[in-house]
Amino acid sequence: MFKSEVRQFLEDECKKIIDTLKAMSFAELPERGRALGTVTVYPDGRKATITVIVKQESPNGLLVVTQCFMPKKGIMGWLRVKDVEVDGFRRYADGRTEPLDNSTLYEYD
């Protein structure tokens, strides 16, 4: 499947953050994870905003999501249409990690 350069850029940026988040412990994620939100710049000058969401699902489970948004070029950007990449995982107190299914990720798109 073909991915545009923009889509690949957003996917790569989200993956960097996800890899950093996965290296954190269960205890670190709620506070330190949120601090990883950032803004990065695509080569044509457009800014991509990366947001990290960490939700306590249960006493022993966290939902972790990264949202990467970048305005489209031209008139579509002016109309506030954006390219979006969303990724995430669940982390459990015992250290297990599992990917989020598409229906869960869709809630954050």
> Which domain covers residue 26, as residue numbers?
5-106
**Cβ count within 10 A of residue 101:** 9
Question: What amino acid occupies position 28?
Answer: E
The string of pLDDT tens digits covering residues 15-42 is 999 999 999 999 999 988 888 888 889 9
96: which residues sit within 8 A by CB, 6+ positions away?
none
Query: What is the distance between the alpha carbons of residues 28 and 33, in angstroms, rounded to a whole number?
Result: 7
**Which pLDDT tens digit goes with each residue over 41-52?**
998 999 999 999
pLDDT band at 89 (very low <50, low <70, confident <90, very high): very high
Judge whether 60 and 94 are in contact, CB under 8 Å: yes
In the block, residue with structure tokens 């690949």 = 8
Q: How many domains does the chain have?
A: 1
CATH of the domain at 55: 3.30.565
